[in-house]
Amino acid sequence: MNLQQSSTDVWPIVGIWLLVGGIVVAYIWSLWWLYCDARTRNNTGCMMVALIGLFAWPLGLIIWLLGRPERPRVAKNKPSGTIDCPRCGVTVSGNVARCPNCGEAR
């Protein structure tokens, strides 16, 4: 058995496994990202989104990117846990059910 020959023969196999490994890593990472992304958008079906991604990847991922709901408006320079009322714009605590200024339900 020629050692030089066998070590050169192994590289295409290594390349294929690196490719397969890369796809698997991208798949798992994108599913995790999909789940987290759905959760930050207050999507109650975030587990459902992850399942769609699981079975329809990568098509489900593309569909999600095209049709995902808007991220809830969280003010950047304000204390965490506060939001701007969508109706009157007043900054209110994120855990109140109604805006104390105008009564708009969140």
Binding site for Zn ion (CB under 5 A): 85, 87-88, 99, 101-102, 104
Residue showing tokens 């796809």: 23
15 vs 103, beta carbon nearer Zn ion? 103
Q: State the minimum distance, in angstroms, from the CB of residue 100 to Zn ion.
A: 8
Smallest distance from Zn ion to CB 98, Å: 8
Q: Are 34 and 49 in contact (CB under 8 A)?
A: yes
Q: 70 with 81: CB under 8 angstroms?
A: no
Q: Which is nearer to Zn ion, 3 or 105 (CB)?
A: 105
The residue among 61 and 92 lying less far from Zn ion, judged by its C-beta, is 92
Task: Enumerate residues 6+ apart whose C-beta is below 8 A from 27.
Answer: 57
With contact defined as beta carbons under 8 Å apart, do 84 and 99 qualify?
A: no
Q: How far is the CB of 37 from Zn ion (least distance, A)?
A: 28
